[in-house]
Structure 1
């Protein structure tokens, strides 16, 4: 297979960057991944061309983007440290690199941009009136991308709910609901009973991005699509499915310790950011994917139990052999 298109992945060791790189590679893209210590992480994606660089350094991003056709901006500050000081300078560097190379920028979007006035169904045209500091930063980030598009830079935003997947350590499922590296003995549910929640299985999300960029000729300079993913009318259903897939259907489902999180947030940056997003667990928030389906014909969708099986295997909550056995048992009982 001849590789003729190049995608620069910023954040290739994170869930969204890694899965998007894999989906693009499967379609013949040459993958270039930038990391501050490429020798330490290149084994994660040996087929990629790893280059040394820091997303906070404009020259590094500019050099890495040379002759790139696509820049996937999936980089985030590790552990949410210095979020307010790092996020916007990084997108500015990506915009400058895209201006120089002519590449389209791809951004995994979030629901943080929206406040209660936009709920429960989010469309691409919904007003972005965030109620959190993190949401305001995301709104400004996208505003800069829109201004860049008006100046000639091509932009694609694909927005989704909470990510989960086999290569997603920084997620609500892996950090707040189960304990990675340990058998599932209990599941913690952050939401209120009966409140719906949107989840995005990262391989499906990445496949969606790959299909969209394949239609470059049909994309406007600034495009935004919403990814529906797995919508659960009662968010507690995810916790229930985790128990079943893990083979422990009677494991307790615990309430999330929001009060403790708020007490500890002055000392733990991750807890501070998680606490700020509590409002998204109190009300149903769903993404309308009508525009996406009209463009692609359908949305990639892995069945929930299969997606959870792969996720639990990836975060080492179950051995692969055990997972396969449990899935067969669940399927037979259905």
Structure 2
């Protein structure tokens, strides 16, 4: 069976979960990766995956691979300090590739567009309070304009913070690594307030379902919020308990990021996002839940255990 789906960013957090979801259903997938060995390792237990070596910024390659694709998953992400000049540029290239076959671009959005808005609905006004939030607004406008111009279709699924297997950002990876090593788990700013997070495998299931359902308009957006944890302390303690580690948490204060930002460009960029850890921002996902009333999140115990096992095996802990 020939693949109709091109996944970009398949070895990253969300792209990995999306690709794994499709492959587990025996749906063929084509991926473009810079690190073929990493991709083979991640997807070694699956058939129906076509791995193409290359850089998504190579427009000729991207167009060549995308020519006959009906769906393109845009899971490309860069370190915060490399967003400008990369995220916007690569999005335009993906649109150009999608235009060849009028493909649907499946785009995992985030809450940055809305700034410090306590409750975000699909029709909430965009009000970014950070540079990266303003860039996300610009990128999503580019996608919306392209869809309305008939170049492609766009399915935008807005997500909160995410965690799960192969989520290796510096906010999540140290939590699971430290827990497995019996150390205090780190978190930023506050652990005593509600925080919304999504298990990547649940996000992938929602995005695949929405993709297969199709869009009625050129551009459609949905929220999926996952689970609201009453406090991060409770979630972190549960991770430690399941890893047989002491229930200890190290909370990094805001001032620390100011100091680290002097020496580390990415930490300077992290600093402006700390409002998301100093207060509670929630996605209202009642629309998508009404579409899929049978959908149930992975039980928290199972999700944590699976993630711990993935980190244990991947890092030989």
- Which residue of structure 2 lines up, in the alignment, with residue 312 of structure 1? 308
Q: Go from structure 1 to structure 2 and tell me whether the alpha carbon gap of 1:193 and 1:21 turns closer, same or farther (over 3 Å shift).
A: closer
Instruction: Find out whether 1:242 has 2:239 as its counterpart.
Output: yes
User: 1:290 Cα shift?
Assistant: 0.9
1:264 has 2:260 as partner: yes
**1:67-117: CA deviation from partner (whole Å, max 9, x where unpaired):** 11110000112x33421110000000101111112210011111111112x
Aligned to 2:75: 74
Which has the higher mean CA deviation after the structures are superposed, 254-263 or 128-137? 254-263
Provide the rounded CA distance (Å) in 2 between the counterparts of 1:241 and 1:166: 17
- The structural deviation recorded for 1:30 is 1.5
Q: How does 1:215-226 map to 2 (within 5 A)?
A: 215-216=213-214, 219-226=216-223
State the alpha-carbon separation in 1 of the partners of residues 199 and 101 from structure 2.
Answer: 31
Contact between 1:184 and 1:317, CA under 8 Å: does it hold in 2? no
Distance 2:235 2:10 in 1: 27
Question: Is contact 1:292-1:299 (8 Å) kept?
Answer: no
How far residue 257 of structure 1 moved from its aligned partner, in angstroms, is 4.0
- Give the conservation status (yes or no) of the 8 Å contact 2:80–2:270: no
> Which residue is 2:15 aligned to?
17
State the Cα distance separating 1:143 from its structure 2 match. 0.6
- What is residue 186 of structure 1 aligned with on the other side? 184
Change (3 A) 1:180 1:107: farther
TM-fit CA distance, 1:266 = 3.3
The aligned counterpart of 1:295 is: 291
CA 36–4 in structure 1, closer or farther in 2 if over 3 Å, else same: closer
SS at match of 1:315: helix
Q: Does 1:253 align with 2:233?
A: no
TM-score, normalising length: structure 1: 0.86
- CA shift, 1:317, in A, is 8.5
> RMSD of the alignment, in Å?
2.3
Match of 2:33 in 1: 35
Structure 2: runs of 5 or more not aligned: none
Cα shift readout 1:144-198 (whole Å, capped 9, x = no counterpart) = 01001101111011111111001111252214x3536951321223242432111
Query: 1:81, 1:41 → 2: CA distance?
Result: 25
How far has the Cα of 1:51 moved from its partner?
Answer: 1.1
The CA distance in 2 between the partners of 1:108 and 1:94, in whole Å, is: 14
8 Å contact from structure 1 (residues 190, 256) kept in 2 = yes
The yes-or-no answer on 1:285 pairing with 2:281 is yes
Q: Distance in 2 between matches of 1:99 and 1:93?
A: 10
